[in-house]
Structure 1
Amino acid sequence: MTESVVDETKLEKLKAGDEALFADVVREHHRALLALVVPLVGHSDAEEAVQNAWIKAHRALPGFAGRSSLRTWLGRIALNEAKMLLRKGGREACLTDMFPDALAADVLEGRFDRRGHWQSPLVQWDLESPDSLLMRDDLSDCLDRILEAMPTTQRAVLELRDTAGIAFEDICNELSISASNARVILHRARSQLVKLVDHYEETGEC
């Protein structure tokens, strides 16, 4: 049985209200969705964005036409929820978590006007559009490439902090670096990811 047929069969069961199957889908994709939204909202708000995405996905399943894969559709919803968090108050909702020191300013330079509002409105994504720029698989591939290209210490700090949620003190002890150095390294790594997501949003390319 081909993957497309399997997905179609699964989708029909999900749309019919198979809660056990939906729980399996959550277990299968939850970690991937977390990894997808962390570059946008930071580690502390990623769980909220993904939980909101699951609620929206559960409600929207009966109307899902299947013009994209289930995984791509879920990724779009999760990214949309991450953007919703960023839109709250018209500025970065989790700025202090993503960039814990004054170095954050250069990444966001020019994004806001003097009142703190976005210079340009954030993109509203069509969760069903096959032409949507932010396709989960493609963006994940781009993120994988940039992670592989990072210096070893930079990638280690990013993964220990944002993926594993390890405290700065423990990261410093593990890697034998100072707290200030760890924050600078983390800032640079996150900046690369944010810029990549911005570029992908605008062009659809890495």
Structure 2
Amino acid sequence: MYETEDALISGMIQGEDAAFRAAIRQYQTSMIYLARNLVGEKIADEVVQEAWFSAMKAIERFEKRSSLKTWLLRIVANEGKTRLRKENRMTSLEALTEVDPSFATRFDDTGHWEPGPSQWDADSPEALMTRDELRACMDQLIDALPDMQGATLNLRERQGYSLKEICNILEISDSNVRVLLHRARQRLFRCIEHFEDTGDCCTN
């Protein structure tokens, strides 16, 4: 029924139930992933529900400066951060410090592994990423990351957003995004090493 995003937005502005149902089918999963990373699984559904209520009220003011998905994720992020502040669980970005420089060199300026996979040793921890067990373990670890670390890594790795887009969604600076990504990836890399050494999934 809604073949383009503009048509979907128009339907939402006009209050068409079918438009909102279509938007929920299309974007709910991404919104839930982000909410889980920010506030945890127990209240993620509540946060997303509040985000949809906020979106319904604000859709007429949507200026299309970003995609509808990005706009919805920003609302989820704001709802999640509001909940964290109320519960005094919000990570202080001012307290963030740069990660170990030796670890930072594992990634290039765009946030991708450096060197690339083609240069990894066959028996390296990264090579184990092909294993179903480790994939499941990594998903579990990403979901358990501290609020903003998990949200940042989710947007980057699971949803493929650029650093600039992540800044826009979470409303934080480029430097904070980079530090959060490095912190999160540092935890993931240690988990990979732990998995290689023991075959067990680490949880912290």
- TM (norm. structure 1) is 0.50
| CA-CA distance at 1:9 after TM superposition | 2.2
Return 5+ residue gaps in structure 1 as ranges. Answer: 93-107, 112-117, 121-140, 143-148, 162-185
What code does the residue aligned with 1:7 have? Answer: E
RMSD value over aligned CA atoms? 3.9
1:10 aligned onto 2:45: no
Could you say which residue in structure 2 is the equivalent of 1:156?
136
The residue aligned with 1:145 is: none
Counting aligned pairs with the same residue, the percent is 29
Q: CA deviation at 1:37?
A: 2.2
1:202 and 2:157 equivalent?
Answer: no
Deviations 1:50-103 (A, max 9, x none): 1110110011112212222111111110111111111114334xxxxxxxxxxx
Aligned CA distance change for structure 1 residues 196 and 13 (closer, same or farther; 3 Å): closer
Q: CA deviation at 1:39?
A: 1.7
Q: Which of these residues, 30, 50, 53, is aligned with residue 52 of structure 1?
A: 50
Which runs of structure 2 are paired with 1:128-147 in the superposition (5 Å)? none
Asked if the contact 1:154/1:189 (under 8 Å) is kept, the reply is no
The 1:87–1:16 alpha-carbon spacing in structure 2 relative to 1, beyond 3 Å, is same
Q: Which amino acid aligns with 1:156?
A: A
Matched, 1:28 2:26: yes
Q: Counterpart in 2 of 1:190? A: 145
Could you list the runs of 5+ residues in structure 2 that have no partner in the other structure?
Answer: 96-109, 112-125, 154-162, 167-171, 182-204
Any residues of structure 2 matched to 1:56-95 within 5 Å, and which? 56-92=54-90
TM-superposition CA deviations, 1:101-143 (whole Å, max 9, x none):
xxxxxxx6xx4xxxxxx967xxxxxxxxxxxxxxxxxxxx97x
